[in-house]
Amino acid sequence: MIQTEKQQHPSGDNRFKLLDRAITKHQARGDALIEVLHVAQGIFGFLENDLLIYVAHALKLPLSKVYGVATFYHFFNLKPNGEHTFVLCMGTACYVKGAERIQSALEEHHQCKFGQTTKDNKVSFITARCVGSCGLAPVAVLDNAVVGKLTPDESIKKVEQLKNTLREVVS
Amino acid sequence: MTLEDLQELSEKEQLRQAEKKHRILYCSAAGCASCGSDKIGAVLKAKIKEHGLEKECEVVGTGCLGLCGEGPLVKLQSDQTLYQNVDVQAAEQIIESHIVKNLPVTAKKVDTTQPFFISQTKIVLENCGEINSESIDEYIGVRGYEALAKVVNEMQPAEVIEEIRKSGLRGRGGAGYSTGLKWGIVSKAHGEQKYVVCNADEGDPGAFMDRSVLEGDPHRVLEGMAIAGYAVGATQGYVYCRAEYPLAIERLKLAIKLAEKMGMLGNRILESQFNFRIDIRIGAGAFVCGEETALLQSIEGKRGNPKPRPPYPSEKGLWGMPTLINNVETFANIAPIIRNGSEWFAGIGTEKSKGTKVFALAGNIRNTGLIEVPMGIPLRKIIFDIGGGTPEGTEFKAAQTGGPSGGCIPKDHLDLPVDYESLSKVGSIMGSGGMIVMDSTSKMVDVAKFFMQFCMDESCGKCIPCRVGTRHIYGLLDKISKKKATQDDMVLLQELCTMVKETSLCGLGQSAPNPVLSTLRFFRNEYEELLQPVEIYQGEPGVVADFEK
Amino acid sequence: MAVKTLTINGEQYSAQEGESILSVARQHNIPIPTLCHLEGLSTVGACRLCVVQIEGIPRLLPACTTKVEEGMVIQTANERLNKYRRMIVALLASEGNHVCAVCVANNHCELQDLAYSVGLVRVRYPYLFPNKQLDATHKDYVMDHNRCVLCTRCVRVCDEVEGAHVWDVAGRGINSEIITGLDYSWGNSQTCTECGKCVMVCPTGALFEKGVTVSEMEKKKGFLKYIITARQKKEWVSIGNE
Ligand SMILES: Cc1cc2nc3c(=O)[nH]c(=O)nc-3n(C[C@H](O)[C@H](O)[C@H](O)COP(=O)(O)O)c2cc1C
Ligand code: SF4
Ligand code: SF4
Ligand code: FES
Ligand code: FES
């Protein structure tokens, strides 16, 4: 069945209304695909297949093209992250200042590689390329807060703290 | 609004600020914000209120104050005192002691007579850290939008282009192509619609110049784009900003809204016949989208695969229409050139590289942060005077410019003047302005491997040399760094680097081997120390290809 | 249209404005190896096998996308170019899992022919032995990702000629992959018309018909010229299959 933005999503999920608003704002133009995916990820947290199909139909694009775009850009997640995210900057300044040591310390301590989520689904470890705070290298972004001048020990502590905080739910 | 109205508004704003006894500026750009400068701002405001000084003092969040490594930074505009590492306690002291009793808080005071401050020449960053980046009035107060008003009401498009050409301004996004020439090509190209695109993708990992300009002085970029639009005959502009910069995007959005409201953007700009709108497009984490053809693909909502040039975007760009693409810093130079004249600009810098360049100084160096220096300044001056040299007990080894597309500059070349030609002569590039300093603790093979991994991860995969070549170069560097390689691998490495450089489709692949070639050139011994000895060099035979019929 | 004169490998030729270097070379039987290019589909300049040397231009440019210009002096082959072409094919060999002797396309494969024509004997790069899938869910055809060289001919023919856009590229860099729909198996595609055009344009044994065995998969590409002339000129020429 082909859905258009006029019809309600069969699940009755109200979040689709928000998405529809963004789609209408761009007049359902195919070249707004990246903008719409940004909004979709903002609302749903990650891009599930069902969501990609919905976007493809609304923008009248082939499924393979939508999938191709969603997988080209690192910013889009096709799988959900853990409760919290620890994004370690691996840009040049942070690298020169020892980001790798933080990476290995964390990987060892949590028995979890970067690019993965801890078994208890608490923290996803992610690497980034320069978050633009190079003056404070090495830098990490914990949930949404930037923390600079990190050391391996400190990062382990910070992750423990992170695990014990409740993530604000973005509505 | 006319030019007179604008000048009146400007004077009014200047008067308003002059009436304040103190303007207390705190850096609210990303670097300091991540050290909690928002809280410091709140404390400053609360303290001012507590002392009933709201009338004569104002607390203002500004763009980057420069010394990012020592944030949060607070500055008193009245007497130019700068405070570093300001915590809540220090913030309270600043008000209670400096403002109320006129006794500066010496413990946190920065010596602003050091070379870091006095050796800089500010054009692009002139307002960064001086004005409230969220207020269009403050921008107008420093003669903002005056250049645009002059251009749309008094100048012909061709005159604008000629002025920019004469200034000698070259693109700040990396390649250094003459901005005036590029504008000329777009203005002459045929198309029912033309576009102006601002490249704010800033993909070089370890650079944050563009971010600081967007966060600290967004109107300047919008003004530059609008002037460009008028000059080339475009009515629509896009800023392509990377998603990693939420604050810059927010400030830009606000700036566009305010500019539209005041008639600086939109229809009939400043009561002329000129219409120009600007929209923001947000990237999604792909370095290659800084490459101009890939960037345009991305604006069109596609995968960021570059396209062969020619045709250049100036002839066939967005949706097949002539498109002007310039970097953030390039656009930021436009308004001052129009305001002060091309001779003024051409008087700064060297014969072939005019004006200034903003660098993001980071790595193993004492003063990390944002600096702006005249073109042609010796590298030594940047690193040892402005940057304060490497930290205690370590020795300068090399500076890397141009990020993953650039190269390193070793100690022997410290007296090199920093301009486009000199940098490329030693195998590096100006790049967009990232400058990472490495000291004796950095291993050059690992540095090369780091950059190659970056290029491999960021390769779009369209062309074979870059897609597979970078993978093998990375593999070889890994082998060398693990001491498993022989002289044969070195031959293979060199061959692959040359081939990837010469046959790749876009700038990413063409420049990906640069960090390897440049470290091979200056630090070959570090590679050779890691090699396995081979008695007699025979040349690796390789495996027979399985193409047998 | 204006006529341009140019020099290729020391000989003078004339060409129409707007023509590509490759097209001029082909008309005069000057061999230039190609892989991603296919007459009738859009050009992407991706494989870089066709790069040529042009006097006065420091970069090598692909013959398939570069338009002729008055007075161009072009070299289509020399030691440097031949070496690069050999290296490109060697990179492809190391990237996938290509064993011709057991391949359905053996003797009818453009990659194999390329390897012979550029004189590739030994591969000095370590084989990457990627763990790639074979998708046999379609009722008529099979996609073996192990043999795919990512030339995107299948993507283009399906989009530009058939109009179905079943295929696209997912991921990026060394992890790029050809996909159908949302990475679902081909057999689940609701948009595939089963026309088989992608199979026919595929240069290697990545796409093939079900049921064929070693060396049996011959690709017939004549349909492309036939359809395109029919669409553009309303003329139905005879199908010449290679
Ligand atoms: C791989 C690659 C990445 C690039 N990244 C950027 C970038 O982040 N910002 C930028 O302004 N230019 C970047 N460029 C350069 C642009 O392609 C283009 O030359 C530039 O935006 C033109 O503006 P300018 O003339 O003002 O320098 C990049 C080029 C390549 C090949
Ligand atoms: S050089 Fe790299 S990034 Fe550029 S087109 Fe080729 S694969 Fe893509
Ligand atoms: S399946 Fe065949 S036609 Fe498609 S990209 Fe791979 S090699 Fe090319
Ligand atoms: S390199 Fe880490 S913030 Fe820039
Ligand atoms: S045939 Fe020209 S690049 Fe592939």
Residue of B nearest to A33 (CA): B301
DSSP string, A45-96: SS--HHHHHHHHHHHT--HHHHHHHHHHSTT--SS---SEEEEEE-SHHHHH
Average pLDDT over residues B72-101: 92
Which of A64, A65, A73 best probes binding to C when mutated, by most C CB atoms within 10 angstroms? A64
Q: In chain A, where are the structural domains located?
A: 15-72, 84-164
Mean pLDDT of A48-73: 96
Chains that touch C (3 or more CB pairs under 8 A): A, B
Cβ–Cβ below 8 Å for C172 and A66: no
Note the pLDDT of residue A50: 92
Residue ranges of chain C whose pLDDT lies below 50:
none
- Look at residue A2 and tell me whether its pLDDT is greater than 50: no
User: Comparing B149 with A145, which gets the higher pLDDT?
Assistant: B149
Residue B316 CA: distances (Å) to CA of B296, B402, C40: 10, 27, 22
Inter-residue contact B304 to B295 (CB < 8 Å): yes
A93: helix, strand or coil: helix
Predicted pLDDT of residue A167: 61
Give, as one character, the DSSP assignment of residue B265: S
A63 touches chain C (CB under 8 A): yes
Residue A170's pLDDT is what?
A: 43
Q: How confident is the model at residue B189 (pLDDT cuts 50, 70, 90)?
A: very high
pLDDT tens sequence across A89-138: 999 889 988 999 999 999 999 999 998 899 889 999 999 888 878 888 89
Say what the pLDDT of residue B371 is.
94
pTM (predicted TM-score) = 0.93
In this structure, are residues B44 and B59 in contact, taking their beta carbons and an 8 Å threshold?
A: yes
Tokens for C166, please give them. 């079943």
> Average pLDDT in the A63-77 region?
96
pLDDT of A171 reads 35
pLDDT band at A4 (very low <50, low <70, confident <90, very high): very low
pLDDT score, position C142: 97
User: Which residues does C contribute to its contact with A (CB < 8 Å)?
Assistant: 159, 164-172, 179-183, 191
Phi, psi of B284 (to 5 degrees): -145, 35
d(CA B135, CA B255): 8
User: Residue whose CA is closest, atom 25 of ligand 1?
Assistant: B171
Question: Chain-wide mean pLDDT for chain A?
Answer: 88
Cβ count near C216 (within 10 Å): 14
Q: Does B425 have pLDDT greater than 90?
A: yes
C46 contacts C71 by C-beta, under 8 angstroms = no
Instruction: Give the integer Cα–Cα distance in Å for B328 and B218.
Output: 10
Cα B480 to Cα B438: distance, rounded to the nearest angstrom: 20
Are the beta carbons of B543 and C172 separated by less than 8 Å? no
- Residue A64 is nearest to which of C165, C171, C172, comparing CB atoms? C165
Phi, psi of C237 (to 5 degrees): -80, 165
Q: How far apart are CA B128 and CA B356, in angstroms?
A: 15
pLDDT digits over B474-489, tens only? 999 999 999 999 998 9
Mean pLDDT of B352-367: 93
Q: Which residue of B has its CA nearest to C83?
A: B499
Domains present along chain B, CATH in parentheses: 3-111 (3.40.30.10), 143-346 (3.40.50.11540), 357-393+411-434 (3.10.20.600), 444-528 (1.20.1440.230)
Tell me how far apart the alpha carbons of residues C230 and C194 are, in angstroms, rounded to a whole number.
Answer: 21
Nearest to B308 among C45, C120, C128 (CB): C45
Helix (H) or strand (E) holding A104: helix A99-110
Cβ under 8 Å to B: C residues 42-101: 44-48, 51, 59-62, 65-67, 83-84, 87-88, 90-95, 98-101
Cβ-Cβ contacts under 8 Å, A130 against chain B: 204-208, 244
- CA separation, residue C5 to residues C11, C13, C53 (Å): 10, 6, 17
3-class DSSP state for residue B76? strand
Grouping H, G, I as helix, E, B as strand and the rest as coil, residue B255 is helix
pLDDT at B392: 86
CB atoms within 10 A of CB B519: 27
pLDDT confidence band for B67 (50 / 70 / 90): confident
Q: Which atom of ligand 2 is nearest to the CA of B506?
A: 4
B485 touches chain C (CB under 8 A): no
Q: Give first-to-last CA distance, chain C, whole Å.
A: 30
Question: Average per-residue pLDDT in chain B?
Answer: 93
| CA gap B62, B75 in Å, rounded | 10
Of B27-36, B504-513, C214-223, the one with minimum mean pLDDT is B27-36
What is the model's pLDDT at position A1?
41
| Mean per-residue pLDDT, B324-339 | 97
Ligand 3: which atom is nearest the Cα of residue C150? 5
Interchain pair B461, C84: CB under 8 A? no
Give the one of A29, A74, A147 whose C-beta lies nearest to B34's C-beta.
A147
Give me the pLDDT at residue A7, please. Answer: 54
- C-alpha span between B205 and B84 (Å, rounded): 26
Whole-angstrom Cα distance, residue B305 to residue B282? 16
Q: Determine what percent of chain B is predicted with pLDDT higher than 70.
A: 98
| Phi-psi domain of C45 (left: phi exceeds 0; alpha: psi -120 through 50; beta: other) | left
C180 CB under 6 A from ligand 3?
Answer: no
User: What is the CB < 6 Å shell around ligand 5?
Assistant: C 34-37, 45-50, 62, 64
B388 interfacial to chain C (CB closer than 8 Å): no
Q: Over range B155-171, report the average pLDDT.
A: 97
Beta-carbon separation of A34 and B35 below 8 A: no
Classify B142 as helix, strand or coil: coil
| Rounded mean pLDDT, B413-417 | 95
Tokens 């950059």, residue located: B451
How far off is chain C from B418, nearest CA to CA, in Å? Answer: 24
What is the CA(C43)–ligand 5 centre distance, in A?
A: 8
Check if the beta carbon of residue C200 is closer than 8 Å to that of residue C209: no
> Which residues approach ligand 2 with their CB closer than 6 A?
B 288, 306, 459-463, 466-467, 504-506, 508-509
Best of B288, B454, B459, B462 to mutate (most C CBs within 10 Å, chain C)? B462
Query: Are C186 and C198 spatial neighbours (Cβ–Cβ below 8 Å)?
Result: no
Cα C91 to Cα B517, C174, C218, distances in angstroms: 20, 11, 25
Q: How many other C-beta atoms lie within 10 A of the C-beta of residue C194?
A: 10
Q: Which CATH superfamily is domain A84-164 in?
A: Glutaredoxin (3.40.30.10)
Of B459, B504, B549, the CB nearest to C107: B549
Domains of chain C from N-terminus onward: 3-77 (3.10.20.740), 83-233 (3.30.70.20)
pLDDT of amino acid C26: 96
CB atoms under 10 Å from CB of B188, counted, come to 13
Q: Which of A152-166, B134-148, C136-150 has the lowest mean pLDDT?
A: A152-166
**B50 burial type by CB count under 10 A (0-12 exposed, 13-18 middle, 19+ buried):** exposed
Q: Tell me if residue C36 falls in helix, strand or coil.
A: coil
What is the C-alpha R_g of chain A?
A: 19
Retrieve residue C16's tokens: 């129409």
The count of residues in chain C is: 242
For the stretch B85-94, pLDDT in tens is 999 999 999 9
Which residues in B196-212 are b (16+ Cβ under 10 Å) and which e?
bbbbbbbbbbbbbbbbb
Cβ–Cβ < 8 Å for C72, C7: yes
Among A100, A103, A139, name the best residue to mutate to test ligand 4's pocket (greatest count of ligand atoms within 8 A of Cβ). A139
Rounded Cα distance, B15 and B10, in Å = 9
Chain C nearest C-alpha distance from B30 (Å): 30
Cβ–Cβ under 8 Å, residues C192 and C167: no
Nearest CA to ligand 2 atom 1: B509
